[in-house]
Chains A and B, each alone.
Chain A
Amino acid sequence: MVTPVGRDVESTWSALLAGKSGVGPISLFDAHTFPTRIAAEVKGFDLADYLDDAERWKEHSRNTRFALAAGKMAMDDSGLADYEALDRSRFGVYLGAGEGQQDFVRFVKLVYKTGKGGKVATEEFTRNGVHDLHVIHESEQEPGTPAAHLAARFGARGANSNCLTACAASSQAIGEAYEMIRHDCADVMLSGGTHSMIHPFGVTGFILLTALSTRNDEPTKASRPFDKDRDGFIIGEGAGMLVLEELEHARARGAKIYGEIVGYGSTADAFRITDSHEEGRGAIACLREALAGAGVAPEQIDYINAHGTSTSVNDSIETLAIKKTFGETAYKVPISSTKSMMGHLIAAAGSVEAIVCLLTIRDGLLPPTINLDDPDPECDLDYIPHEARKKRVDVALSNSFGFGGQNITLILKRYTD
């Protein structure tokens, strides 16, 4: 994975365990007068560190470049990159990639140049647009393109899909990729997400919805899930990729196995465009479905990676949903929001958080929720404040809730023969 706190899995993981925040002033464009001028950017990223043909991708979107880097690391790690027996028609890609970044400077110039009295003269817009806009920058805005790039790069000729359900997208992609393997549509799926909304229109859009923290003077303290003084989320960016494989296929080639996906819940709030259901109806149904599918009781969940966005509504409703689903057990299961450190990777968030769950199983360490100085009275569970914790994890659960009411829960389990 590529995240605001590390450019690969291990560096991200150590930063999370150390409680390190990746939030700072926005450097990707001049945001110094914006109501929110902080974000969790991926720093020092150079695709040449991952690929030998990085030059070919220099005009491509951040989504594509993050996805190629994360995809390369996942494929190398899986050992499939040189596995010649792989049936490529049974090797697919399912991503939850966001839309690519609008080519802001070219676009606003074009709109200004072709505007008259607050309206755009469309003949002028199209006439100039074919010269002024950049072909790759435009085509890369199509959310389905990273899935094609990864398929081409890694020779995945099988099923290919991309979903975009806001903040739930890459969890949903993993869930559906898992179902495709179970349904015998593929043996191997490269799945995950990639997204950056740290661009002028992305930041503008969320500012208008008053969803972002405005704690501009204390960037590293701005993302504070479950804290009484939380005031919105912090946009992050990056990519997380996993190689999902049918068990027998993996065993036959002696693959290293990080864990098993055992539960997948997917529901809709069907309530409002902008708000979650007040009583967490959809989230509760989602958690229950995932637990039932996994055949796991709440007491068996050793760790929850919360959606935990640091918005007022999400954190209290997510807490409520966990309580209603888990009953008294809710107070015993350690929960953390790694968004306190990485910000919210939007479409890519769930994929990175699923990887975090696998690492808790591997290492027996739980990443903290930082900045939880003064918990909201409505948020009274064990959120692993400030510092990482040691605990053996056999079963971990990850929540992702998307804007518009899509709820996704994944349950990951230690693999045993």
Chain B
Amino acid sequence: MLGSERRVVITGMGFVTPLGDSPDRIWERIASGQGALRRVEAFPVAGLPNDIVAEIRDFDFLKGYALPKFRKALGKSRKYMARDIQLAVAAAQRAMSDAGLVDGGVDPTRIGIDLGAGLISTDLDELAPAISMASSNTGQFEFPVWGREGIGVIEPIWLLKYLPNMLACHISILMDCQGPSNSITEADASSNLAVAEAARIIARGKADVMVTGGADSKIHPLSMTRMALYDTMSRWDGEPSQGLRPFDARRDGTLPGEGAGILILEELGHALARGARIHGEVLGAGSGCDAVPTGGQDPEGVGTEIAVRAALREAGIKAEDVGHVNAHAAGFRLGDLAEARAFARVFGPKAVPVTGLKGYLGNIASGAGAVELIASLVGVNRGLIPPTLNCDDLDPACEIDVVTGPPRPSGSPVFVNSNVTINGQAAAVVVRGGPVSAEG
């Protein structure tokens, strides 16, 4: 598909999420309805609409994820890495192991990388001493003091820790990916856009293997303050695990999550020739935008509709052949409804099972698309659709068939993974679960 003879299959998955970092573990949590939303532990907050987040509490970058051959290099380079970058590098190692590519075997100039990344918030304590130095004379910030003395007390590598292209750069260096390297920074649509672009790069013959996906952590005092300012944060004051409620009548906002999802995409013939295990196939992708001139997204979800229709067209898949849709479903009053309207127009009202996983995972923002795609893939490869947590009372305005309760048997391994930003930038990817052969 993808307008090319070259088919693009998924031969590796690696992820670090609040639900765990192995397919069995996240599936066990999803199937048993155990979400990860809890009160934040990483740092105290106050004055925000909420303190509920989906954290990865026991993340140990070196002990948990560094492969023996990279441990020494990563021990050094870790100091250049914000948490977002560490999550991505950790997940990428898992993905490369899963794909059987740790020991090379592929021409490095034929491996590329295309990741979704977020606006990475700076560690406040790295700047506090310099800011304090420039402010303590008079209580007002003084530029001349900052210029003379403040700059000198900041770590020289400060900027490098927070550049969004550094997720891809660290991975490309570690794994010798000399093909194309891109970093998509379009908030919650980022990783779906990256997966789409990576698949097209293989389809057009510029690479045989692409490392793709994305990572983000919005569990940061500044990122959470921003969510409060944008008025996107849930005000739920009940049981924390129920705080993010996709398509539910009582939804009123989203909650931050963190994590990384990395996929190894590979040209089918290349994968078959090396006997790789194939998890699924990327069939098509599309994107659209319904940003309205006054700001924000269109309540009718036109951008999502355009994205999904374009993805189905590229995939050559009819709407009725889609087994389920994994929606963005961030828990917004307007955003969830706009998506529901788009799906109802494309597939017909209540015609396709729809799920949204942020009730389990929180909103992983630039990493959300990749992590959610992986969760759906893990599901369909068990013949099941992952259900939606916390949609206890479906909003009657959402004319869609939301999968709730236990996992539902999947009628088709083909699913659409869709994400949209608060500005109406939408991206959809069509994936078919495995097995995949040269014929089918």
Contact = CB atoms under 8 A, between A and B. Distances in A.
A complexed with B: yes
Contact of B164 (A99, A126, A285): A99
A204 B154 CA distance: 9
Interface string B52-94: 0000000000000000000000000100100000000000000
A148 B188 CA distance: 13
B226 interface: yes
A148 B154 contact: no
A15 interface: no
A156 B240 CA distance: 40
A195 to B, nearest CB: 12
B85 to A, nearest CB: 10
A215 interface: no
A126 B45 contact: yes
Given A159-B286, A404-B169, A405-B172, A130 B228 contact: yes
Given A119-B125, A162-B185, A149 B291 contact: yes
B275 interface: no
B440 interface: no
A332 interface: no
Interface stretch (B143-151, B261-269, B336-344): B143-151
Given A160-B287, A268-B113, A29 B226 contact: no
B437 interface: no
Contact of A164 (B109, B164, B173, B302): B164
B135 A120 contact: no
Interface in A125-144: 125-130, 133, 135, 138-139, 141-144
A196 interface: no
Contacts of A151: 289, 291, 424-425
Interface residues of A, number: 90
Contacts of B48: 126-127, 130
A32 B148 CA distance: 9
A213 interface: no
Contacts of B438: none
Interface string A207-224: 111100000000000000
- Secondary structure at the A interface, as helix, strand, loop or mixed, is mixed
Interface in A1-59: 29-35, 37
Contacts of A165: 165, 168, 181-183
A204 B134 CA distance: 14
Given A122-B43, A127-B46, A108 B131 contact: yes
A112 B141 contact: yes
Nearest to A184: B3
A94 B195 CA distance: 16
A108 B141 contact: yes
Interface string B259-287: 00000000000000000000000000011
Interface stretch (B23-31, B217-225, B399-407): B217-225
B180 interface: yes
A126 B47 contact: yes
Contacts of B230: 135, 138-139
Contacts of A153: 293
Contact of A115 (B128, B184, B185): B128
B160 interface: yes
A120 B128 contact: yes
B181 A31 contact: no
Contacts of A144: 185-187, 189-190, 421, 423, 425
B113 A123 contact: no
A110 to B, nearest CB: 9
A92 interface: yes
A135 B229 contact: yes
A115 B165 CA distance: 30
Given A108-B135, A406-B181, A208 B151 contact: yes
Contact of B287 (A129, A161, A269, A402): A161
A158 interface: yes
Contact of B44 (A122, A208, A405): A122
A67 interface: no
Contact of A31 (B143, B187, B197, B221): B143
Contacts of A180: 200
A83 B77 CA distance: 52
A81 interface: no
Nearest to A116: B128
A105 interface: yes
B103 interface: no
Contacts of B80: 273
* Tier of interface size on chain B: 35 or more
A173 to B, nearest CB: 9
Interface in A85-103: 89, 92-93, 99
A135 B230 CA distance: 6
Given A129-B225, A172-B182, A268-B181, A118 B164 contact: no
A281 interface: yes
Contacts of A130: 47-48, 225, 228-229
Nearest to A131: B47
Given A161-B184, A163-B185, A185-B286, A33 B148 contact: yes
Contacts of B293: 152-153
A133 B229 contact: yes
Contact of A120 (B77, B187, B221, B309): B221
Contacts of B113: 268
B128 A157 contact: no
A373 B418 CA distance: 55
A46 to B, nearest CB: 21
A184 B421 CA distance: 24
A142 B232 CA distance: 15
A152 B297 CA distance: 10
A257 B292 CA distance: 30
A183 B3 contact: yes
B46 A126 contact: yes
Interface string B163-205: 1111011101101111111111111011001000100100110
A274 B164 CA distance: 14
A208 B155 CA distance: 8
B180 A123 contact: no
A176 interface: yes
A268 to B, nearest CB: 4
Given A123-B47, A273-B80, A162 B177 contact: no
B185 A34 contact: no
A47 to B, nearest CB: 15
13 contacts: A108-B134, A111-B127, A122-B43, A123-B46, A141-B119, A152-B291, A183-B3, A205-B158, A208-B151, A266-B206, A267-B181, A270-B172, A404-B166
Given A115-B128, A160-B288, 14 more contacts: A32-B143, A33-B146, A89-B309, A111-B124, A118-B125, A119-B125, A120-B128, A144-B186, A151-B424, A166-B165, A185-B314, A204-B154, A267-B109, A269-B178
Interface of B: 2-3, 43-48, 77, 80, 108-109, 112-113, 117, 119, 124-125, 127-129, 131-132, 134-135, 139, 141, 143-148, 151, 154-160, 163-166, 168-170, 172-173, 175-187, 189-190, 193, 197, 200, 203-204, 206, 221-222, 224-226, 228-230, 286-293, 295, 302-303, 306, 309-310, 314, 421, 423-427
